[in-house]
Amino acid sequence: MKDLLSVTPAELEELILSVGEPKYRAGQMFPQLHKGLSPEEMTNVGKKTREKLAAVSEYHLPQVRRKLVSALDGTVKYLFELRDGHCVESVVMRYNHGNTICISSQVGCRMGCKFCASTIGGKVRDLIPGELLGQVIAAQKDLGERISNIVMMGIGEPLDNYDNVVKFLRLVAHPEGLNIGYRHISLSTCGVVSGIYKLAEEEFPITLSISLHAPDDETRSSIMPVNNRWGVDELLTACKDYYDKTGRRLSFEYTLIAGKNDTPEGASKLANVLNRHLRTRTTTMPIHVNLIPVNEVEETGFSRSSDEAVKAFAAVLEKRGIRATVRRKLGADINASCGQLRRAEQKAAEVTAETTGKTASEEA
């Protein structure tokens, strides 16, 4: 059974031909699928064609299992249930320039960052292209508003699910589909260096964001296991290569954790290492660091840096010619940060499982 939200227009044509229908039907159906209509719901194609297609394919949109709306800023957080009962989170943020959705790329995550809620239960599975796209379509359908920007910063590591993510990028930008331009899409990675090199070879002018979080290997390895595979120098070399090849500048995320990576000396080290790699004789990339006071997750035991520490950290970077902005917190009242809602559901399932004697996966 083909997943109708994962197929390209050419693959849909093939499928239509395989059931003995004329191929132009694909052109009529592709935009409808991306509007959130299953074959049964389409009115522009005859019943016979729709039934033949339905017999060899499946159409699943993520179902809204929970929806929280922030009273402070209108941020909407969805817990979406996938076809197999697993859940992921998506968050829609309202800006003056339009709606931005933050989507998940995997069920869980295997990267093991010590401060992150998404990685606590490990990775369950990758999302397929139709499930990545489905988050955008389902949110748009639920809100009744267009979503114009996408950030891949939800649960999971997008470059650990490379092929599905790349196919999704092609689908979401398709003019007959959602038509969201690459310049309106950003992808965040914890530093999967092999994926950064591969991405530099693709024709996607998306924005790449690097979750750096520490200026040196010792600190970074202590909070991000991926750093044992690819260290800070290797990662920043890949960033330079990406910039040199594509001309697209990257941005850096830096989560500030009290007493761990938030000292003025840390800021100075960060400025040194960024400038050393990205402002060389041949490369002069404008550098921008997003500072994010860590969201406290019960299990991790890390706490946020004080406002003074954040300010002092930013001031050191600015002095060294690096733009630093402190991330505005949206949806503070709905726990909008990634992984936390799914984690809460998991915990609830664990409690129910304990009291009913079932395992958590049976509950899910």
Active-site amino acid positions: 89, 338
In the complex, least distance from residue 173 CB atom to ligand SAH, rounded to whole angstroms: 20
164 binds ligand SAH (CB under 6 A): no
199 binds ligand SAH (CB under 6 A): no
Which span sits near ligand SAH by CB under 6 A: 49-57, 58-66, 89-97, 108-116? 108-116
d(CA 288, CA 46): 53
Nearer to ligand SAH, 13 or 157 (CB): 157
In this structure, are residues 179 and 131 in contact, taking their beta carbons and an 8 Å threshold?
no
In the complex, least distance from residue 27 CB atom to ligand SAH, rounded to whole angstroms: 35
Total residues contacting ligand SAH (rule CB under 6 A)? 17
135 binds ligand SAH (CB under 6 A): no
The residue within the footprint of ligand SAH, chosen from 338, 341, 343, 346 (CB under 6 A), is 338
CA within 13 Å, CB half, 11: 12
The residue within the footprint of ligand SAH, chosen from 6, 57, 90, 188 (CB under 6 A), is 188
Which span sits near ligand SAH by CB under 6 A: 4-12, 240-248, 268-276, 294-302? 294-302
In the complex, least distance from residue 37 CB atom to ligand SAH, rounded to whole angstroms: 30
211 binds ligand SAH (CB under 6 A): yes
76 binds ligand SAH (CB under 6 A): no
The residue within the footprint of ligand SAH, chosen from 5, 190, 196, 349 (CB under 6 A), is 190
In the complex, least distance from residue 343 CB atom to ligand SAH, rounded to whole angstroms: 11
208 binds ligand SAH (CB under 6 A): no
Nearer to ligand SAH, 30 or 254 (CB): 254
89 binds ligand SAH (CB under 6 A): no
The residue within the footprint of ligand SAH, chosen from 6, 90, 140, 189 (CB under 6 A), is 189
297 binds ligand SAH (CB under 6 A): yes
295 binds ligand SAH (CB under 6 A): yes
d(CA 36, CA 134): 8
d(CA 350, CA 364): 10
* HEC string for the chain: CEECCCCCHHHHHHHHHHCCCCCHHHHHHHHHHHCCCCHHHCCCCCHHHHHHHHHHEECCCCEEEEEEECCCCCCEEEEEECCCCCEEEEEEEEECCEEEEECCCEEECCCCCCCCCCCCCCEEEECCHHHHHHHHHHHHHHHCCCEEEEEECCCCCHHHCHHHHHHHHHHHCCCCCCCCCHHHEEEEECCCHHHHHHHHHCCCCCEEEEECCCCCHHHHHHHCCHHHHCCHHHHHHHHHHHHHHHCCCCEEEEEEECCCCCCHHHHHHHHHHHHHHHECCCCECCCEEEEEECCCCCCCCCCECCHHHHHHHHHHHHHCCCEEEECCCCCHHHCCCCCHHHHHHHHHHHHHHHHHCCCHHHHC
Nearer to ligand SAH, 49 or 189 (CB): 189
294 binds ligand SAH (CB under 6 A): yes
The residue within the footprint of ligand SAH, chosen from 255, 261, 305, 346 (CB under 6 A), is 255
Nearer to ligand SAH, 234 or 363 (CB): 234
Q: Which two tokens stand for residue 154?
A: 């939800």
In this structure, are residues 221 and 227 in contact, taking their beta carbons and an 8 Å threshold?
yes
292 binds ligand SAH (CB under 6 A): yes
Q: Phi and psi at residue 218, in whole multiples of 5°?
A: -60, -50
150 binds ligand SAH (CB under 6 A): no
Nearer to ligand SAH, 53 or 208 (CB): 208
The residue within the footprint of ligand SAH, chosen from 15, 116, 132, 196 (CB under 6 A), is 116
* Single-letter amino acid, residue 84: D
157 binds ligand SAH (CB under 6 A): yes
Residue 344: CB atoms within 10 Å: 15
Residues that bind ligand SAH in the complex, under the rule CB under 6 A = 113, 115-116, 153, 157, 188-190, 211, 253, 255, 292, 294-295, 297, 337-338
